[in-house]
Amino acid sequence: MTEPAPKSPRESEVVMTQMILVTASMDDLHFHAPILIGWIVTLRARVLAAFNTSMEVGVIVTSENPFTGETSITTSALLTFVAKSLDGRKIRVPPLRLESEAERLAFQEAHARRDERLARKSQTEGWRRLFPESARG
């Protein structure tokens, strides 16, 4: 077996940059399949609907087995983000320009989910009474 060529620490450097967002909620988080160590993970996200100051974003994670090239959906989730100005005030989000029938359908579904989500939020806060010491908020 040939000796592997040396690698410098600099070559191993990995940088991940993430913008901090204000997530209001996350739902429908599903893990469809496991990801194995060494597989390639790709995360895709799209705004599905823009409301007033909030928007629903759909996220799909796929993984690829680098030895076979086989890909599969491993995770999906729906997140609601709220837009904020630099000084922290909630601001309107730009409307979505829908360009396909699939986008229009996704938009309608997102609106229906928003109604359910906000109703569920107000209906399911009762259990918090079990934690009176954390009752504020």
Minimum Å gap between C-beta 14 and ligand COA is: 22
| Binding status of residue 120 toward ligand COA by CB under 6 A | no
Please choose, from the candidates 78, 76, 77, 80, the residue with its C-alpha nearest in 3D space to the C-alpha of residue 24: 80
Minimum Å gap between C-beta 90 and ligand COA is: 6
Total residues interacting with ligand COA, rule: CB under 6 A: 14
Q: Which is nearer to ligand COA, 30 or 121 (CB)?
A: 121
On the CB side of 107, CA atoms within 13 Å amount to: 13
Minimum Å gap between C-beta 37 and ligand COA is: 26
Q: Which is nearer to ligand COA, 70 or 116 (CB)?
A: 116
Reading the block at residue 2, the tokens are: 């040939």
Footprint on residues 28-67 left by ligand COA (CB under 6 A): 51-54
Minimum Å gap between C-beta 131 and ligand COA is: 18
For residue 32, give every residue at least 6 positions away whose Cβ sits within 8 Å of its Cβ, in sequence order, or none.
72, 73, 74, 75, 76
82 backbone dihedrals φ, ψ, rounded to 5°? -115, 135
